[in-house]
């Protein structure tokens, strides 16, 4: 029996599988936020976690429209495959997408782009995100972050309170009891909501398999020109400048996360379908972010610091 079959199997009558239970919880969270907060928005990047969020939103609100638009913070260094997929998926759903561009903020002089070979626009996203939230008058934002991703995220609430600067105060969080989420805020403050907090990378892939969701092609093995930097395989692209001694070569790779090209690493893989990806996920010995995100390697608390400033 495959890992997909195993995940989809119910053992006893009137018992849910773990995926069904996680799904029911996530749908509940989405409806709570939509009911209690006036202007939510859902962050959609074309990545696997936000793809799952879109399916959950369908489950929560169909046959109605989503009671919120979708928002993508485009760093200008996104994978073209992810952007193409993003637009196609939004069109299929018939929902509204807002694209907030980091490039606009660079051009407008709102933020200054890092120079040098290790420059990444990842940190600049926070400014653009907060600007987009303010311009849209959004007081709640759904994100696809999971607690298993990173140790600062393990302490994150399902409904995470942010002050009027968008900042997270990890030491002063509202306790979350039962499923009684407290979404009360004052004007200017906001809520970040993480409906798939309790999902793992494996759950996400199993759900994608069971629901037969399409994902961007870069999640599957493909040949790509890459170069190695600090043990990570970065794609050769306009987003990064290669250093002396860094040589491009072609490799069979796939991506475990879809982020900014300047800081998202590929993994060597021959997995060409979901089943193979799940098998690989089951035996991998490296975490998703550890294997693929340069931004989290900066320091022990880099995610916590970025989150405090308003990052997701």
Q: Which stretch binds another protein (CB under 8 A): 74-82, 111-119, 234-242, 278-286?
A: 278-286
Count residues near another protein (CB under 8 A): 66
Q: Which stretch binds another protein (CB under 8 A): 26-34, 40-48, 131-139, 272-280?
A: 26-34
Contact positions with another protein (CB under 8 A) in 124-183: 147-148, 150-155, 170-171, 173-180, 182
222 counts as binding another protein under rule CB under 8 A: no
CB of 61 to another protein, least distance (A): 7
279 counts as binding another protein under rule CB under 8 A: no
Q: Which stretch binds another protein (CB under 8 A): 15-23, 74-82, 97-105, 113-121?
A: 15-23
CB of 259 to another protein, least distance (A): 17
CB of 78 to another protein, least distance (A): 25
Would the CA dihedral through 126, 173, 149, 198 be positive or negative? negative
Contact positions with another protein (CB under 8 A) in 189-218: 197-198, 200, 202-203
CB of 241 to another protein, least distance (A): 26
Binds another protein by CB under 8 A, chosen from 2, 24, 134, 273: 24
Q: Considering beta carbons, is residue 63 or 116 the nearer one to another protein?
A: 63
- 3-state helix/strand/coil string of the chain: CCHHHHHHCCCCCCCCCHHHHHHHHHHHHHHHHHHHCCCEEEECCCCHHHHHHHHHHHHHHCCCCCCCCEEEEECCCCCHHHHHHHHHHHHHHCCCEEEEEHHHHHHCCCCCCCCCCCCCCCCCHHHHHHHHHHHHCCCEEECCCCCCCCCCHHHCCCEEEECCCCCCCCCCCCCCECCECCCCCCCCCEEEECCCCCCCHHHHHHHHHHCCCCCCHHHCCEEEEEEEECCEEEECCCCCCCCCCCCCEEEEEECCCCCCCCCECEEECCCCCHHHHHHHHHHCCCCHHHHHEHHHHCCCCHHHHHHHHCCC
Applying CB under 8 A, the residues found at the interface with another protein are 6-7, 9, 11, 14-25, 27-28, 31-32, 34-35, 58-65, 147-148, 150-155, 170-171, 173-180, 182, 184-186, 197-198, 200, 202-203, 284-287, 290-291, 300-301, 304
């Amino acid at each position: 029996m495959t890992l997909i079959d195993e995940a989809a199997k119910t053992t006893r009558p009137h018992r849910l599988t773990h995926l069904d239970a996680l799904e029911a919880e996530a749908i509940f969270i989405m409806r709570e936020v939509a009911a209690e907060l006036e202007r939510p928005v859902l962050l959609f990047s074309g990545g696997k976690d936000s793809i799952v969020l879109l399916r959950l939103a369908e489950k929560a609100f169909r046959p109605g429209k989503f009671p919120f638009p979708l928002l993508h913070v485009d760093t200008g260094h996104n994978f073209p495959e992810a952007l193409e997929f993003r637009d196609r998926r939004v069109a299929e759903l018939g929902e509204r997408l807002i694209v907030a561009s980091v490039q606009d903020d660079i051009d407008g002089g709102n933020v200054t782009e890092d120079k040098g070979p290790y420059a990444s626009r990842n940190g600049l996203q926070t400014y653009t995100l907060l600007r987009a939230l303010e311009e849209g008058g959004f007081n709640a934002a759904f994100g696809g972050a999971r607690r298993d991703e990173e140790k600062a995220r393990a302490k994150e609430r399902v409904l995470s309170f942010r002050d009027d600067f968008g900042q997270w105060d990890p030491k002063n969080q509202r306790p979350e009891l039962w499923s009684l989420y407290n979404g009360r805020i004052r004007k200017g403050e906001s809520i970040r909501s993480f409906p798939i907090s309790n999902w793992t990378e494996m759950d996400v892939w199993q759900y994608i398999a069971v629901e037969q969701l399409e994902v961007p092609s870069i999640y599957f093995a493909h040949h790509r020109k890459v170069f190695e930097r600090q043990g990570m395989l970065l794609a050769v692209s306009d987003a990064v400048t290669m250093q002396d001694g860094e040589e491009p070569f072609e490799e069979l790779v796939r991506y475990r996360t879809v982020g900014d090209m300047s800081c998202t690493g590929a993994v060597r893989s021959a997995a060409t379908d979901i089943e193979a990806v799940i098998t690989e996920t089951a035996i991998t010995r490296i975490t998703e972010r550890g294997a693929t995100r340069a931004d989290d390697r900066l320091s022990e608390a880099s995610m916590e610091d970025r989150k405090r400033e308003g990052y997701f």
